[in-house]
Amino acid sequence: MKIHLKHYLVGLCAVALPAMAQTLLPQPQQVEWKKGNFNWQKPYRLECRQTVAETSAPVQQWLPAKAVTAETKRVVILEKGNPAWNDEAYQLYVSADTVKVCAKNEAGFIAARATLAQLTADGQQTRAVMISDSPAYRYRGAMLDVSRHFYPIEFVKKQVDLLARYKFNRLHLHLTDAAGWRMEIKRYPRLTELAAWRTDSLWKTWWDGERKYVEEGTPGAYGGYYTQRELRDLVDYALERGITIIPEIEMPAHSEEVLTAYPCLSCTHEPYKQADFCPGSISTYDFLENVLKEVMDVFPSAYIHVGGDEAAKASWPTCPRCQAKMKELGTTDVNDLQTHLIAHMGRFLKSHGRTLIGWDEVIDGNLEKGTTVMVWRGLENATRAAAHGYDVILSPGAYCYIDAYQDSPADQPEAMGAYLPLKKVYSFVPGENLSPAHRAHIVGVQANLWTEHVPSAAHAEYMMWPRLLAISEIGWNGTKYKDYDEFHQRAVNETQYLRANGVNAFDLKKEKGDRVQSAIKHKAVGATVIWNKKYHRSYPGNGPTTLTDGKLGGWNYGDKPWLGFLGKDCFDVTIDLGKVQSISEVGADFLQCTGPWIYFPGTFTISASEDGKTYKTLFEKKNPDKNFPYYKTEWWSWKGKAKARYIRLQGDPVVHGGWIFVDEIIVK
């Protein structure tokens, strides 16, 4: 394929970095630095060997425009690599008078071009080096959610350029969800006339309100969609840069917008009532197949993502069509309806030469061989997928959900929750605890930016960069060697580069880091905890000793020092100090993060007893207000004078169904 890049990477190299060690990110597999530089401002001749004119076009068109003379001894050589090489492998040799690039095909030359761009930081000279390089994983992706908040096509192209610089090869677009349908489907115009537009620009306001859709052109309507022409242009733009666009069309859940525009596809046939397609209706399958036909016509990607996550299935048990379909399938389990629908779509895509990819909820389906599962929950789901023989892309929330806070929450824009700094992303080791046989099914990694709390393009960049640099490093270089300090310096350099070139990246130089987690000495350290209500199995902290181990938690509620409690009157523990003694202060350290429904208690009581039978209330606090800061820790305590052996602390969530998180009970 002949491509025309018009030297776009030269523009990316225009700003020189300060004098420092050369930045390469991701780090190539093998690098040997040499003395000297190749000066592109001096004449050179171009030599293409073994008919590489088309496959080497990415490098040829990157080369700075300079008079080329046949007489000069300075030469740029483009050469075919070993046929046995990985498709994206390349070798690069640079000296004062020679630049030689070897690659098997176009993908390898595209990877070499990205390295040359970083080596030529000032746009004029390339540092002398020998590089032998190939990717650790064949799939290196980033996902952008354009449903919750819609971003212009030019912004998406800008991100494609950045992804190419760091050797990503997939951009996954989350095109459909309750918040808005974002792709023109000519057969179903109501998807863009109605389902692409809502009443409020901010997702949070809309979601917490009436969740209404409005007709295109309504004053104040928020939304938008990409025409098929725009998307075809984006696909071509990305392919020129070595990136495949993967479209995602959600099914059977996250489809409120579709089922309002076309309510006949739901179980109740009522708009604004359903989130899940009706898997018992033939109309559902016709609709989804027709949509996917248009999707496949626009996107040449071998992978087509069908979502498959978080289906509530609320109406399926009572829907006559669903019940009839279950009888036909010979099952009494409504979960088998989703299995059937996803398997049906897998066969449909395979018949068109494509491969289904879905979130890890699709694992249990009777899916086609070659199906790929994107694991976002626990690593056990990677094991299950691999046991089925499916390929696995790892995208675990703990490391790859970059909608979380990347620094001290008090200093950051509102985020979805948790705390995911660059260091935590970099620490990710794909398949670390899997068996070698199961690890062999891991084909790649992906970071996801869900955009519930990301209302602008500038904010989206802020959340992506520089954390995507860590995913780039993991996906390309691998995780055999880990040195965060060394990586951090390269990431700081790249962040400088990005910010100097108009990218709204988070400034790593100003990073404050995690909440201080110093050890605390107090009377309850090591004391026995009597669990009147036990912590939730999903957030067990460090186990039974967590509340009296003298350790405070950081900003991430998923870290070990935090215990999670769920349900009405869920927090109820008694501390046994071992003997009656004088006390002057008792308190607990609580965390609030309202995105995942973690709240300070609605009521909180501290009582004390000398015999474990008769208790006296020392402290009681009522908290009727749900509008606390989005992310905060607070110390709630009693101070005074008392004698006690047993101290009981009780609390319930301020929101029904919410969580309480505690890291330490301190007694002085």
Do 382 and 376 form a contact (C-beta atoms < 8 A)? no
**Which residues neighbour 654 within 8 Å (Cβ) at sequence distance 6 or greater?**
599, 600, 601, 602, 623, 624, 625, 626
Do 438 and 135 form a contact (C-beta atoms < 8 A)? no
Given 254, 438, 441, 453, the catalytic residue:
254
CA distances from 328 to 245, 267, 312, 337 (A): 37, 17, 22, 11
Which residue, 484, 363, 500, 508, is CA-closest to 425? 484
The Cα–Cα gap between 644 and 523 comes to 12
Given 88, 133, 161, 177, the catalytic residue:
177
At CA 425, angle to CA 422 and CA 428, rounded to 5? 150
CA distances from 256 to 175, 176, 311, 619 (A): 14, 10, 12, 46
Whether 254 is a known active-site residue: answer yes
Half-sphere exposure of 104 (CA within 13 A, CB side): 12
CA distances from 15 to 12, 118, 332, 357, 461 (A): 8, 11, 64, 39, 19
CA distances from 299 to 154, 286, 371 (A): 18, 20, 18
Whether 310 is a known active-site residue: answer yes
The per-residue DSSP string of 584-620 comes to EEEEEEEEEETTTTB--EEEEEEEEESSSSS-EEEEE
Whether 240 is a known active-site residue: answer no
3-state secondary structure of 315: coil
Given 310, 380, 483, 486, the catalytic residue:
310
The Cα–Cα gap between 363 and 365 comes to 6
Do 162 and 465 form a contact (C-beta atoms < 8 A)? yes
**What 8-state DSSP symbol labels residue 481?**
S
Active-site residue numbers? 177, 254, 310
